[in-house]
């Protein structure tokens, strides 16, 4: 197996301050725990225990994956279905959230570019206005000075 694939997979599983849940103990370990609590040591009890874990509300917000024991992987009951359903929900929710964030970031970037372009256009228009205004003032002054010089020349 490619070591880089393992590294990438582990990085993805441990991203966002989430970790793996080792939710399945071996049958002997689980049976010892159940015996101390007076719980029957049966496959149905272990299945109910696992279902309790995987149907925990918002579990996907806290973990990025789960380590399963062979008994769960081969189990065709609601435990595995609930785990897969939860995983799919979190995956789809994450994809939608990332898509929405990407769209909003794109819109924000477009608005920032438009704002920058508006500022540049405003500067250009202000410069054009000031040049035209100054040109009009210069023409008026030139007319006044020309008229003054014409009147001064007639008086002499």
- Residues 85-104: pLDDT tens digits? 777 777 787 788 888 888 88
Q: Which helix (H) or strand (E) holds 65?
A: strand 63-67
Would you mind telling me the total number of residues written for the chain in this entry? 156
* CA dihedral over 40, 44, 49, 52, signed as positive or negative: negative
Residue 70 is predicted with a pLDDT of 65
Q: In Å, what is the CA distance from 15 to each residue of 20, 60, 67, 80, 155? A: 11, 13, 16, 23, 94
Give me the residues of the chain with pLDDT under 50, please. Answer: none
Beta bridge partners of 65: 20
Distance of alpha carbon 59 from alpha carbon 52, whole angstroms: 11
Distances from the Cα of 17 to the Cαs of 8, 20, 100, 140, in angstroms?
Answer: 16, 10, 21, 73
Residues in CB range of 53: below 8 A, 6 or more apart: 21, 23, 59
> Residue 77 has what DSSP assignment?
S
Would you say 55 and 100 are in contact if contact means Cβ atoms under 8 Å apart? no
Give the per-residue pLDDT at 58. 81
Spatial distance between the Cα atoms of 24 and 97, rounded to a whole number of angstroms: 30
pLDDT given at position 88: 76
């Amino acid at each position: 197996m490619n070591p880089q694939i393992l590294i990438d997979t582990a990085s993805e599983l441990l991203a966002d301050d989430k970790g793996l849940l080792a939710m399945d103990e071996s049958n002997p370990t689980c049976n010892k725990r159940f015996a101390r609590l007076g719980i029957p040591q049966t496959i149905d009890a272990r299945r109910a225990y696992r279902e309790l874990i995987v149907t925990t509300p918002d579990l996907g917000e806290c973990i990025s994956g789960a380590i399963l024991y062979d008994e769960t992987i081969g189990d065709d009951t609601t435990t595995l279905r609930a785990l897969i359903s939860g995983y799919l929900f979190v995956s789809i929710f994450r994809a939608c959230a990332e898509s929405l964030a990407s769209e909003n970031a794109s819109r924000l970037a477009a608005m920032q570019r438009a704002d920058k372009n508006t500022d540049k256009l405003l500067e250009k228009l202000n410069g054009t206005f000031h040049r035209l205004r100054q040109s009009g003032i210069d023409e008026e002054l030139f007319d006044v000075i020309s008229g003054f010089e014409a009147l001064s020349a007639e008086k002499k």
